[in-house]
Structure 1
Amino acid sequence: MWGGGELDLDAYLERIGFSGDPKPDLDTLRAVHRGHVAAFPFENLEIVLGRPIVLDVAGLQEKMVGGARGGYCYEQNLLFAAALERIGFGFTGLGARIRMGSDRVRAVTHMLLRIEADGRQWLTDVGFGGEGLLEPVLFEDGVVDRQGEWTFGVAAEDDGVRVLRSLHHDGWFDLYSFTLEERFPADYVVMNHYTATHPHSPFVGRPVVQRTGPEVRHNLVGTLLSVAGPDGTVEERPVRAGELGTVLADVFGVRLPAEDIAELERRYFGRT
């Protein structure tokens, strides 16, 4: 179902720095999740360059495994799902409503997975970007999990709704809500079309490039580059015209052709 048979698993595992014999167990799941997040930055640059987001495994492998690129929610988690299927994990696709601290009810536009490993259920998500998980979280209500310098929790609400939360310096911060309704690859194709094309989507009108690590998070939103620490401190500076390519490569590990850098700078940095 998830295209695992089309994936060059050896190339994927090499790209994320995984060594050894992958097995459908918790140790492998944790290592693959950590390696994927470290290797692939969150980025929407294909969207802002006016190109379609291709979700087939061959296309994802060419872009992300074969190239120095990342992807956004569906690209990240569908590539991850293909690898998990190939390794032999059992899992279910889920959908989430983004909150990011708001109580506004948004559409279901995010993808995550519920995975079975070592006889227990785990929440995994390699595609949330700047505040995303580094490792799987135990799929139990009330669980609190520290990952590097960041702390996450799963809380239960009414009607079977669960919330993934991040602990900020001033308290818990809701990232997104979700239910256990099963989602399939075809559902994510529809979600992707909306998210990649609708004028109100946060990923259509500006570049969003993010990389999260155990101790620090880097974000480029529009022309503003920020570095966030676990104590709530954020350092920001504008990216100047002419340095976008260097920032993408050095900070995020994203390398684009010179013509794509020139087009992004023309659109968002006022260069001609």
Structure 2
Amino acid sequence: MDQQQAYLDRIGVADPGEPGAGNLARLQEAHLRAVPFENLSIHLGEPVVLDPAALVEKVVQRRRGGFCYELNGAFAELLRSLGYEVSLLAARVFDGERLGPPFDHLALRVDLAEPWLVDVGFGRFALHPLRLDERGEQADPYGRFAIGPSGEDGELDVLRGGEPQYRIDQRSYELSDFAPTCWWQTTSPQSHFTRSTTCSLPTGGGGRTTLSGTRLIRTAPDGTRTEEQLTDGGAIAAYREHFGITLDRLPG
């Protein structure tokens, strides 16, 4: 089986069709529902290697997930193999009103008849691609989004429900350009990713299932949360049951 077909099987897409907005939306949704947002490699002592082949191998052969650089980096490879024109965009993530560092996040631009913002690596975000040139509100099954100018060097702010999510630098970058910030994210005590483990997938209707440490968190579409404290063995079983990840020890 070739790598493209193995990747499509991983996300449950039998026929990707020709490049187009509808098929792109179908691929993004399938990826989000099948491949978890997770930072387990950092806590398992596994290197995070920003090499396209390594990223695809992790998602497809090892049946793991990853965080933004890994997930969007791998998805870009799949889309290119299917004939899509893909650019890597750098973004800075908002923490309240404060912006993170440059290259804090990797998102994708896909050019069809119009440019689309594609993102399978931000955790709770849009289920479908967003029109990059649209300045009005965009409805999505996972919320209402808007993209507008930030007033700084042509950068764009992406908002969900009126709250800023990240600021996009519209220039195209190479995957290697993200390596220094990726290294910081995986090693610095100040990084959110080194402080705790997370593994998360969307559920039907806009909810989410998340495993943080040994806490299993279920978030309903209306935002209601329930938490269950698991044993170590229960957490390992939950990784397998909810995320399809088989571990022989807990990340720690």
TM over 0.5: same fold? yes
In structure 2, what is the Cα distance between the partners aligned to 1:11 and 1:207? 28
Aligned-partner residue type, residue 182 of structure 1:
S
Taking a change above 3 Å as real, the CA distance of residues 91 and 250 of structure 1, as seen in their structure-2 partners, is same
Residue from 5, 10, 28 that aligns with 2:5 = 10
Instruction: Note the C-alpha offset of 1:149.
Output: 4.5
- The 8 Å contact of residues 218 and 226 in structure 1, kept in 2 or not, is answered as yes
Residue 13 of structure 1 deviates from its aligned partner by 1.0
Contact 2:201/2:208 (CA < 8 Å) preserved in 1?
A: yes
Mapping for residues 212-227 of structure 1, pairs under 5 Å:
212-215=202-205, 216-227=207-218
8 Å Cα contact 2:90-2:105 kept in structure 1: yes
Partners in 2 of 1:137 and 1:232 — Cα distance?
22
Structure 1 spans left out of the alignment, 5+ residues:
1-6, 268-272
1:246 aligns with 2:237: yes
* 137-146 or 70-79, larger mean C-alpha shift: 137-146
Q: Paired residues, what number?
A: 248
Aligned counterparts of 2:33 and 2:221: Cα–Cα separation in 1: 18
Which ranges in structure 2 are unaligned for 5 or more consecutive residues?
none
Bigger shift: residues 142-151 or 75-84: 142-151
In structure 2, the residue matched to 1:24 is 19
Which of residues 175, 179, 197 is equivalent to 2:165? 175
- What secondary structure is seen at the aligned counterpart in 2 of 1:196? helix
Could you say which residue in structure 2 is the equivalent of 1:132? 125
What is the CA-CA distance between 1:10 and the residue it aligns to?
1.0
Q: Partner amino acid for 1:152?
A: F
Identity of aligned residues (%): 31
More displaced 10-residue stretch of structure 1: 228-237 or 244-253: 228-237
**What letter is aligned with 1:150?**
G
- 1:233-258 CA-partner distances (Å, limit 9, x unpaired): 222233333211111122222222x2
User: Residue type matched to 1:229 in 2?
Assistant: A
Take 1:238 and 1:155, find their aligned partners in 2: how far apart are those partners? Answer: 41
- Which of 64, 71, 80 pairs up with 1:76? 71
Out of 100, 103, 110, the position equivalent to 2:97 is 103
1:144 partner letter: E
Residues 35 and 179 from structure 1, CA distance in 2 versus in 1: closer, same or farther, beyond 3 angstroms?
Answer: same
Match of 1:3 in 2: none
TM-score of the aligned structures, taking structure 1 as reference length: 0.84
Q: Does 2:113 correspond to 1:122?
A: no
Q: Which residue of 2 aligns with 1:4?
A: none
The yes-or-no answer on 1:38 pairing with 2:39 is no
1:67 aligned residue (56, 62, 68): 62
Per the normalisation by structure 2, the TM-score is 0.90
Counterpart contact for 2:38–2:200, Cα < 8 Å = yes
